[in-house]
Amino acid sequence: MSQRALPAKILTYESINPHVKRVEYAVRGELAIRAEKLKDELSKGNSHNYNFDTVVNCNIGNPQQLKQKPITFFRQVASLMEYPDLLLPENRTQVEALYPIDAIERAQKLLEQIGSVGAYSHSQGIPYIRNHVAKFIEERDGYPANPNDIFLTQGASAGVQNILQLIITHSNVGIMIPIPQYPLYTATLALYDAQPVPYYLNEEEDWGLDISQLTSSLSAGRSKGLDTRALVIINPGNPTGQCLTEQNMREIINFCHNERIILLADEVYQTNIYQPAERPFHSFKKVLRSMGRKYEQFELFSFHSVSKGMIGECGRRGGYYECTNIDSRVVEELYKIASVSLCPNVQGQIMVDLMVQPPKRSDESYTLYQKEVDEIYMSLRRRSTKLSECFNQLEGVTCNSAQGSMYLFPRIRLPQKAIEAAHQAGKQPDEFYCLAMLDATGVCVVPGSGFGQKNGTLHFRSTFLPPEELFDGFCTRLQRFHNEFLERYHD
């Protein structure tokens, strides 16, 4: 009897979950992989093959990878939490010589509440820290917050994934997402088998959000038979950097209210605001509360993170989400989901505590803390302007300034010959351009196609996080590359 040969492996590319295969995440995609290879080459001393001796990662909003220094007070507390024997009486004199008294006191209080950072904590997040988060939200917004509605998470990513998982009940569920968007959203929708319902941001209006876009996008989704249940807003935007006006936010809330749509407000860049007078940050929670009783059942999830702002503690994986007007039985189910993963990592939770309760004016650490935050902020603002000026000088490139966040999303216009060459190479034209830029300059950016863009337009996303001293050289190299590229593919 002939036996059919079985594949050697049970788990093959063909046999895994097809939803996993549909996931795409450009921020760590082909460009980033090529950049790692180049770094490896350079570290082996092969720099003579290239026009540059360092690779600059502008592909990811990861400030400390690009030498941003951590906030001293935060690391002081974290280090005492990591090694609490430093707080024993016999070490006191030495520790007081090294650490300011408020860092010591903060660590002592946290230790009393938490115990060892090596122990699992409450699944929803340490209650003491959730109280601080609620207080922070109350002070930011001027409206009450309930610690029981707050979930501490492994970065904002884990929170977004949990909430989308909760909302997606079948494969015809539609989730409204901005285009361009941060690919966490399309990736998670692919994973949980739901359908993106794209709405387009308006590049000509500084990437503003036009309510008529929401209406037409919703009807387009409905005409495809989609059950659209939620709307994602990224404010300030990634990759587009826009910051919504309060009036616009009211319109969005009103739209969701009329259409019975849940709002997901991704507010991880809430302190990365570069035009604070014209475009201050408002949280959706605050705007919602200011709209009165009519909206008292309005369902909102808001996300925040320690990865962004002036903190940039991406590797700590700390964040939280707040549930507003969510049915208590649904919150219980979210607790159950959180408990399946036991708890968010404890050092990440501590970082959230420090973010929401930084040193106060009367504390010993205040002056240094404020100086560090101000320096990072001013430098980010300068860098955002310098880089957008640099992009705007390139032929055929236009770039809006960043009202917030850490990114610029310039539009590029490529000659037809370059577009044909890209297709011949099996690449998207923006990807082709970005790969050529990486090979010529060592600067790694992400093609616009990874975020979505209006048909017929091409972009790339660059962070403005590299250290300031690299900027001039960086712009000169970019200029040279761009001119050569245009010349090579001249129509």
The torsion defined by the Cα of 450, 452, 458 and 463, in degrees rounded to 10, comes to -60
Structure token digits, residue 318: 């700390």
- Considering the complex, what minimum distance in angstroms separates the CB of residue 319 from ligand DCS? 5
Residue number, nearest CB to ligand DCS: 155
Site for ligand DCS in 144-163 (CB under 6 A): 155-157
Burial label for 392, CB within 10 Å (0-12, 13-18, 19+), is: middle
Which residues 7-36 are close enough to bind ligand DCS by CB under 6 A?
Answer: 27
234 binds ligand DCS (CB under 6 A): yes
Least CB distance from residue 64 to ligand DCS, whole Å? 12
Q: Which is nearer to ligand DCS, 39 or 257 (CB)?
A: 39
**Least Cβ distance, residue 56 to ligand DCS (angstroms):** 15
Q: Which amino acid is at 273?
A: I
At its nearest, how many Å lie between ligand DCS and the CB of residue 242?
A: 12
Rank residues 100 and 198 by Cβ distance to ligand DCS and give the closer one: 198
Instruction: Find the Cα–Cα–Cα–Cα dihedral 274, 300, 161, 18, rounded to 10°.
Output: -110
Pick from 47, 54, 62, 79: which binds ligand DCS (CB under 6 A)?
Answer: 62
Task: Choose the binding region for ligand DCS from 17-25, 56-64, 113-121, 247-255 (rule: CB under 6 A).
Answer: 56-64
CB closer to ligand DCS, 157 vs 283: 157
Q: Is residue 307 near ligand DCS by the rule CB under 6 A?
A: yes
Contacts of 97 (CB under 8 A, 6+ apart): none
The answer to whether 203 contacts ligand DCS (rule: CB under 6 A) is no
Under the criterion CB under 6 A, does residue 238 sit at the interface with ligand DCS?
Answer: yes
Q: How far is the CB of 155 from ligand DCS (least distance, A)?
A: 3
Q: Applying CB under 6 A, which of residues 182, 281, 409, 464 lies at the interface with ligand DCS?
A: 182
Nearest to 464, CA basis, from 381, 341, 398, 369: 381
Binders of ligand DCS among residues 318 to 337 (CB under 6 A) are: 319
Q: How far is the CB of 317 from ligand DCS (least distance, A)?
A: 7
Binding status of residue 358 toward ligand DCS by CB under 6 A: no
Complex with ligand DCS: residue 59 or 217, whichever CB lies closer: 59
Query: Between 262 and 414, whose beta carbon lies closer to ligand DCS?
Result: 262
Cβ closest to ligand DCS, residue 376 vs residue 418: 376
> Using CA atoms, how far apart are residues 466 and 128, in angstroms rounded to an integer?
36
Residue from 61, 221, 358, 359 binding ligand DCS (CB under 6 A): 61
Amino acid making up residue 137? I
Rounded to an integer, what distance in angstroms lies between the CA atom of residue 166 and that of residue 118? 29
Query: Quick check: 267 and 284 in contact, CB under 8 A?
Result: yes
Cα angle at 320 between 193 and 246, to 5 degrees?
90
CB of 124 to ligand DCS, least distance (A): 17
Nearer to ligand DCS, 59 or 365 (CB): 59
Which residue stretch of 60-68, 256-264, 283-291, 322-330 sits at the interface with ligand DCS (rule: CB under 6 A)? 60-68
* Spatial contact of 313 and 67, defined as CB atoms under 8 Å apart: no
Q: Find the binder of ligand DCS among 149, 203, 266, 299 (CB under 6 A).
A: 266
Cβ-contact 299, 279 below 8 angstroms: no
Residues sharing a CB contact under 8 Å with residue 120, sequence separation 6 or more, in sequence order: 342, 343
Q: Which is nearer to ligand DCS, 147 or 155 (CB)?
A: 155
Report which residue type is found at 485. Answer: F
Single out the segment in contact with ligand DCS by CB under 6 A; choices: 57-65, 92-100, 278-286, 426-434: 57-65
Pick one of 129, 184, 338, 412: the residue that binds ligand DCS (CB under 6 A).
184
Closest contact distance (angstroms) between CB of 252 and ligand DCS is: 16
- What's the alpha-carbon Rg for the chain, to the nearest Å? 24
Rounded to 5 degrees, φ, ψ at 79 are -70, -35
Buried b (16+ CB within 10 A) or exposed e, 232-251: bbbbbbbbbbbbbeeebbbb
Residues that bind ligand DCS (CB under 6 A): 27, 60-62, 155-157, 182, 184, 234, 238, 266, 268, 305, 307, 314, 319
